Structures are given as C-alpha cells and as structure tokens.
Amino acid sequence: MVKNIAVIRGDGIGPEIVEQALRVLDRVAELYGHTFNYTDVDMGGCAIDKYGDPLPEHELQKCVNSDSVLLGAVGGNKWNDVPGHMRPEKGLLRLRAGMGVYSNNRPAKIWKQLSSASPLKKEIVDKGIDFIIVRELIGGIYFGEHKTEGDVATDVLTYSESEIERIGRIGFETAQKRNKKLCSVEKSNVLDSSRLWKKVMHRLAEEYPDVELSDMLVDNCAMQIVKNPAQFDVIVTENMFGDILSDEASMITGSIGMIPSSSLGSTTCGLYEPIHGSAPDIAGKDVANPIGTILSAAMMLRFSFDMSKEAETIENAVSAYLDAGYRTADIMSEGGKLVGCKRCGELIIEKLRKG
C-alpha cells in the first residue's frame, strides 16, 4: 500500500524522536512492501519563527490532505512570552480542531519489563495496570472563549449533548472491545457541563447493555488511579480532565516517554503523537526516549491504515528491546544498559521481524 504521511517534527526533542519513528516506519515498509511518503509540516515554535504563526493554513491543509499525521512535540521556553493566541500549543489545538479529531485514545499499560520503574508499591502494580483513557479532544474549556480584561481572566467551558454523545459512543465501543467496563469521569457535584455529561452517558448506556457503566468524580478518579489502577478498563472524560488524568496515568506505568496516543474523528485520517511534551531541557542531547513516538506510529498503522500485523511487528520489537535490557535515561531507575535516542531507534529496528 502507498500512504502519504504528514510529519510534524515540531520543537525541542520533537525532531529527534520523530526521526527514529520514521526510520522504524521505513524498515516496516521494506519488510511488508509498502511505500510511506512523508510531507514535512511546520507547526509550533518553529512555525512561529518561520511564518509568525504556529500553524499557517497551508500547513494545516497538508495535514488534512494526508492519509494521517505523525507529530513529535511542540513548544518551549523560547515562545513563553508570545501572546496566548500565538503560542506553539495553539498550533496543536488548531490542528486537532482542523482535523476534527474529537476522540483521543491514551493507553495506560505497564510493560512487564518496567514494572519496577513504577512509583507505585509492588503489590499495587502486581494487580495489573492496563486501561485506556478516552479523552474528548476538541471541545470544553480548551476551545471556549479566553479573555483577560484588566485584572480578570476568563475561560469558558461549554459542552453540547452531541459533542458528549459522539465521544461517549467511542468510550462504549472501546469498552466493548475490551473488558466491557466504562468509567465516566466528571465533576457533576459542581459543574453543569458535567451534569449534562453524566446524563448523556446514562442515556447512551441503554444502547450498550453489554457494557457496565460507572460514574466517578474527577478528584476521586485522580486518587483511585494511584490507589487501585487495576479497577479501570476504559475511562471516558472531557478534554481538560483527560489531559490531567493521562499524565498521572502515564507516570504509574513507569515513564511518560513510553506512551503513544491516537486521535480520530469521523474519517481514517488520524493524528498520532506521544503524550509527552517537547522537553526543551534535554533537546538535542540524544537522550530522549523515542518509544512513545515509535508506538504512536504503530497505532497509525493499526487504526488508520488497517495494518495490524505491521503494528504488532513494531510493538514486539519494542518489547524485545526492553527484554534485552536497554533503557533510555527516563527508565533507568532500576538499572539496565543505558542508550541514547538514536541508538534506541537502531536497536528497535534490529529487532523488527516480519510476523
């Protein structure tokens, strides 16, 4: 198959981690006889420097017209003082909205090889950590009105029933393919938008009788994720709660550097990115962990290109790499053979075997 992939290297460690993911994709293409064409897209701080805009329309169009988008990370201290509507992160939000990718899937799964890298007690980790956060990605407070007038700043949080319903369905469908447990997370003791969220989830539940729906307040959920993560199968939640909970969930699996994500809307053209940021402090030092991006590329193969075997080939290679004891600095806590970003990519490529 021939696929056209828009590639956003971005800022900070973005270029170096994306480079490794592309090398892995190239090798997979060779093994399975596919052709992946890459189109570079400028987004984030680098686009501000080049065009004075974090995502000019012509760059967004390259993404919309691609078969899927692979993204490293954007942002950095250099652009901290630019006005809010021009920040690098604004490019990312515009991209998500422009592509219409309302459903963000963030797995929290502990690799058996990394169980001692989790900050949780062994008896909690041993019960298992394997759940998915389905995060609404193009609504809520991120996309409400933002304004500062004098000494008062305002950010507006709005959700419509239809926005909640479409992400709710993804939550139920994701649970149907797993252990059939869906936990809807909100703050219905305080927020109107959360009360609407809960109402819509319960209405939808009638259409998915095979899925067991539970409700949880977001503050309690933050606690339960560290107290008893084994209770979760699929969590569905709104944009900002999902942002916060997915960082927490990634940490209990050992490292945020390992976690990929997929974002999809109503077409197969998806956005694939690691959930970590651009880590400017370690940029260009060849120490970043490229696995989150490499696994995001695997998700792209599975969810957008229907190439499950190829995706598994990548996931198995990552597992074999970890089995062999190699570790980037972020997951070195319990020892291992220290490798840099580039070497990590090379070793994973060496372990790629056609399934």
- Residues involved in catalysis: 142, 187, 219, 243, 247
Nearest-angstrom CA–CA distance, 261 and 274: 6
Nearest-angstrom CA–CA distance, 339 and 347: 9
Question: Interface with Mg ion by CB under 5 A: which range of 91-99, 172-180, 242-250, 283-291?
Answer: 242-250
* CB closer to ligand IPM out of 184 and 263: 263
In the complex, the smallest distance separating the C-beta of residue 10 from Mg ion, rounded to whole angstroms, is 14
* 59 in contact with ligand IPM (CB under 6 A): no
* CB closer to ligand IPM out of 100 and 336: 100
Nearest-angstrom CA–CA distance, 56 and 95: 10
CA-nearest of 232, 87, 188, 194 to 146 is: 87
Structure token digits, residue 101: 């990718």
* 69 in contact with ligand IPM (CB under 6 A): no
Question: Interface with Mg ion by CB under 5 A: which range of 11-19, 23-31, 206-214, 238-246?
Answer: 238-246
Q: How many residues does the chain have?
A: 355
* 248 in contact with ligand IPM (CB under 6 A): no
* 186 in contact with Mg ion (CB under 5 A): no
In the complex, the smallest distance separating the C-beta of residue 243 from Mg ion, rounded to whole angstroms, is 4
* 136 in contact with Mg ion (CB under 5 A): no
CB-closest chain residue to ligand IPM = 89
- The site partner of 92 among Mg ion, ligand IPM, none (C-beta below 5 to 8 Å per kind) is ligand IPM
- The site partner of 89 among Mg ion, ligand IPM, none (C-beta below 5 to 8 Å per kind) is ligand IPM
Q: Is there a contact between 270 and 263 (Cβ–Cβ < 8 Å)?
A: yes
Nearest-angstrom CA–CA distance, 260 and 276: 9
* 89 in contact with ligand IPM (CB under 6 A): yes
Question: Interface with Mg ion by CB under 5 A: which range of 70-78, 141-149, 191-199, 235-243?
Answer: 235-243
* CB closer to ligand IPM out of 247 and 346: 247
Structure token digits, residue 6: 């828009």
* 287 in contact with ligand IPM (CB under 6 A): no
* CB closer to Mg ion out of 274 and 290: 274
Containing 5, the helix (H) or strand (E) segment is: strand 2-10
Chain centroid offset of residue 89 CA: 15
Identify the residue among 48, 92, 114, 318 touching ligand IPM (CB under 6 A): 92
* CB closer to ligand IPM out of 75 and 292: 75
* CB closer to ligand IPM out of 270 and 317: 270
Single-letter code of the amino acid located at 251: M
Inter-CA distances, 173 with 101, 210, 257, 264, 347, Å: 16, 10, 27, 14, 36
- Tokens 């592309």, residue located: 22
Structure token digits, residue 337: 């053979």
In the complex, the smallest distance separating the C-beta of residue 92 from ligand IPM, rounded to whole angstroms, is 5
DSSP letter, residue 253: T
Structure token digits, residue 288: 């970043």
Instruction: Give the ranges where 69-217 is alpha helix by DSSP (H).
Output: 88-99, 122-125, 161-176, 192-205
Structure token digits, residue 261: 């994500």
Cα 282–110–122 angle (5° rounding)?
Answer: 105
DSSP letter, residue 179: T
* 186 in contact with ligand IPM (CB under 6 A): no
In the complex, the smallest distance separating the C-beta of residue 149 from Mg ion, rounded to whole angstroms, is 27
Identify the residue among 41, 141, 157, 275 touching ligand IPM (CB under 6 A): 275
Total of chain residues touching ligand IPM, rule CB under 6 A: 6
* 243 in contact with Mg ion (CB under 5 A): yes
Binding site for Mg ion (CB under 5 A): 243
Binding site for ligand IPM (CB under 6 A): 75, 89, 92, 243, 275, 277
